[in-house]
Amino acid sequence: MQPLPAPGERESAYDLFQRGSRMLADRHPGAAAVLLERALALEPGKASILEALGQAYFNVGSHELAAERFEAIVRADPVAHYAHFGLGLSRARLGDAVAARRHLHMAVLLKPDSETYQRAFERFGNAA
């Protein structure tokens, strides 16, 4: 584990991303979101940061913010299967069954061997 930076020393986007990812893995999504937003400010549009941030927001119940982060990835990389999955789940939680179905279906098409994607599509896909 890396030590915290000295007072007045600025953390890099990578350091913030690593700390945020650890917080997310340790089930502290709120704290992770704070660190990951700081990383995103230093590296706007970075897919790995957006993905982790989408997960963090989803896990704290901020589904609109999660959808925004996943959608940014999909706009930049239309074949990012996990971003479609996250966006689909976020849209489902927001009550947008049509968008949820579309993105979950895309996730399945892009990664057909994922049982997780299949189950989500089967669960939320019928809601449309």
In a domain, 41, yes or no: yes
Q: Is residue 124 part of a domain?
A: yes
Same domain for 74 and 124, yes or no, is yes
Residue 45 is predicted with a pLDDT of 94
pLDDT in tens, 75-126: 999 999 999 999 999 999 999 999 999 999 999 999 999 999 999 999 986 6
Domain count, the chain: 2
Domain identity same for 127 and 90: yes
- Residue 52, SS3 per DSSP: helix
For the chain, the C-alpha Rg in angstroms (whole number) is 16
Closest CA to 93 of 50, 123, 53: 123
The residue from 60, 84, 102 where one domain ends is: 60
Domain boundary among 43, 60, 77: 60
